Amino acid sequence: MQTVLIVYDSTTGNTERAAELVAEGVREVEGIKCIVKRVDDVSLEDLLNADGIIIGSPTYYGLMSAKIKRLIDDSVEIHGRLEGKIGAAFTSSGGTASGAETTILSILKAFLIHGMIIQGNPHSQHYGLAVVGAPDEREADLCRKFGRRIASLVIKLAR
């Protein structure tokens, strides 16, 4: 069984809700174990044990939260050991054109430096998932699809 780890930081609950919805999508894929953890509860061992890592952060001035950044900074201790794992990112922001893409890209850049595999989306939200505020029903569907997409890639590469 392959494991997808969803790591998130959330102050208002919006990113947490998105993480729960992404997890629903991940769990729809057969052969996947999904673990959801608040960033405060994640260890480097958790990252090493996952086949896919999805990180969710609120957008703060176009960047990831300090807690997510600290996890990424700490991951220098395991540099090179995440190579070949699937990585993906999502964010919640206060509005459109408010830095969501740059937040996602800041996380993806770290994944790429670790040698991780990133899948874009040619249809919409090309870099990752972005929701505005608390996910509405349309965004909830996008969250689940995002989770399914990443989990399906983890399964595909495991074959």
**What pLDDT shows up at residue 96?**
83
Q: How far is CA 82 from CA 34, 70, 103, 109, in A?
A: 18, 17, 21, 13
**Closest by Cα among 4, 10, 13 to 135:** 13
| Global confidence as pTM | 0.97
User: Partners of 87 in the beta sheet?
Assistant: 53, 118
Per residue in 26-43, pLDDT (tens digit) is 999 999 999 999 999 999
Per residue in 80-110, pLDDT (tens digit) is 999 999 999 999 998 888 899 999 999 999 9
Cβ atoms of 129 and 101 closer than 8 Å:
no
Q: What's the token pair of residue 118?
A: 């990133």
**What pLDDT shows up at residue 85?**
98
User: Going from the N-terminus, what domains does the chain have, and what CATH number goes with each?
Assistant: 2-158 (3.40.50.360)
**What pLDDT shows up at residue 44?**
98
Per residue in 128-155, pLDDT (tens digit) is 999 999 999 999 999 999 999 999 999 9
